[in-house]
Amino acid sequence: MTGWLAIAGLGPGGDGLVTPEVRTALDAASDVVGYIPYVRRVAPRPGLVLHESDNRVEMDRARHALGMAAAGRRVVVVSSGDPGVFAMASAVFEAVEAGPAGWRDLDIRVLPGITAMLAAAARTGAPLGHDFCAINLSDNLKPWALVARRVALAAEGDFAMAFYNPRSRARPEGFGRVLDLLRGLCEPERVVIFARAVTTPDEAIRVVPLAEAREDMADMRTVVLVGSSATRIVAREGGPWVYTPRSVPA
């Protein structure tokens, strides 16, 4: 039996956003590996072994999955969103690079998914319709100074921004510092979108000007979008549309 490894994105939560390619891989798998809440999105069936692991053990999980594929299993590593955006794909290739030479010959595929920022953008209009940056605010994996530097340069370039992992129990204060930094660099009307648990039953969207944005508007399930200076609000019943125009006048 020839093993393989698929690193698959389950999208933000809704079944309608899981690609057919990912469904096919899950249907063919012998093993599914991932962080507990993501593995629980996969329906159990006879012959499928579900391996749940805790957060922050990405490298152990990657090696486990690679070892099973090398032993002939058909393994799917599941991530929320897209596996290549602040998720498991980087961890798997880091493990490949550091691991046995034979792992480089494994059949490995990355199956993209709908990442949270694009699902959140879709819910509110087109806030990322022009140039934008995606920044992981977690300082577990990088120094705070680098987070701040990238946010400042993104603001200087007038990019729209998407912030992943704005706030967690382990580091609740970082996001407030980012908001303070932005308030020093952008006008008070700058559009900020808090998009929580998009496409799940817990979905909640909030659009506020930067002056009113507070760190407790985000939690671990929130992606935060910040418009560029050109981002527009189209008022209507039931919450505004937000879009960033495609063109910038000369």
CB 3 within 8 A of CB 72: yes
Among 5, 10, 68, 135, binds its own copies (CB under 8 A): 135
Among 53, 90, 168, 229, binds its own copies (CB under 8 A): 90
Pick 3 or 112: Cβ nearer its own copies: 112
Among 36, 71, 153, 211, binds its own copies (CB under 8 A): 153
Do the bridges between strand 191-196 and strand 204-209 make them parallel or antiparallel, or are there none, so unpaired? antiparallel
Please give the Cα distance from 33 to 49 (Å, whole number): 9
| Residue 232 half-sphere exposure toward CB, CA atoms < 13 A | 12
Among 40, 45, 56, 142, binds its own copies (CB under 8 A): 142
Q: Rule CB under 8 A: which of 47-76 touch its own copies?
A: 58
Please give the Cα distance from 167 to 159 (Å, whole number): 22
Apex CA 6: angle with CA 90 and CA 18, to 5°? 95
Q: What does each C-alpha distance from 182 to 3, 171, 186 come to in angstroms?
A: 48, 19, 6
Kindly state whether residue 122 participates in binding its own copies, applying the rule CB under 8 A.
yes
CA 239 from centroid of its chain's CA atoms: 24
Kindly state whether residue 105 participates in binding its own copies, applying the rule CB under 8 A.
yes
Q: Rule CB under 8 A: which of 4-43 touch its own copies?
A: 11, 14-21, 24
Choices 34-42, 165-173, 187-195, 236-244; region in contact with its own copies by CB under 8 A: 236-244
Q: Rule CB under 8 A: which of 168-207 touch its own copies?
A: none
Pick 163 or 214: Cβ nearer its own copies: 163
Closest CA to 178 of 213, 222, 206: 213
Among 93, 172, 176, 215, binds its own copies (CB under 8 A): 93
Kindly state whether residue 128 participates in binding its own copies, applying the rule CB under 8 A.
yes
Pick 222 or 244: Cβ nearer its own copies: 244
